[in-house]
Amino acid sequence: MSNQEKIVFLYRAGHIPEQIIEKAHADVPDGFTLIFTEEKDSDETRRGLVAEADYLVCYGRGFDDLDVAQKAKIFQVLSAGFDRLDIDAFTKAGIPVANNGGANAPTVAEHAIMLMLSVYKKLPTHHNGLHNEEWIGHRHALEMRELRAKQVGIVGFGKIGQEVARIANGFLANVAFFDPIDVAQTVKDEFKATQMSFDSLLKTSDIISVHTPLNDATRGMMNKAAFTKMKPTSIFIATARGPVTVEADLIDALDQGVIAGAGIDVFEEEPTPNDNGLFGRDNVVVTPHMAGTTIDTWARRLDFAFSNIQRVASGEEPLAQINK
CB–CB of 165/152 below 8 Å? yes
Show the domains of the chain with their CATH numbers. Answer: 5-103+294-313 (3.40.50.720), 105-286 (3.40.50.720)
| 260: three-class secondary structure by DSSP | coil
pLDDT at 1 over 50: no
pTM score: 0.93
pLDDT tens digits for 69-125? 999 999 999 999 899 899 999 999 999 999 999 999 999 999 999 999 999 999 999
SS3 call for 26: helix
Residue 207: closest CA among 162, 250, 132, 263:
263
Q: Which residues are catalytic, by number?
A: 241, 270, 289
Q: Is the omega angle on the peptide bond into residue 213 within 30 degrees of 0, that is, cis?
A: no
The chain-wide mean pLDDT, for the chain, equals 96
Tens digits of residue pLDDT in 261-286: 999 999 999 999 999 999 999 999 99
d(Cα 275, Cα 291) in Å, to the nearest integer? 22
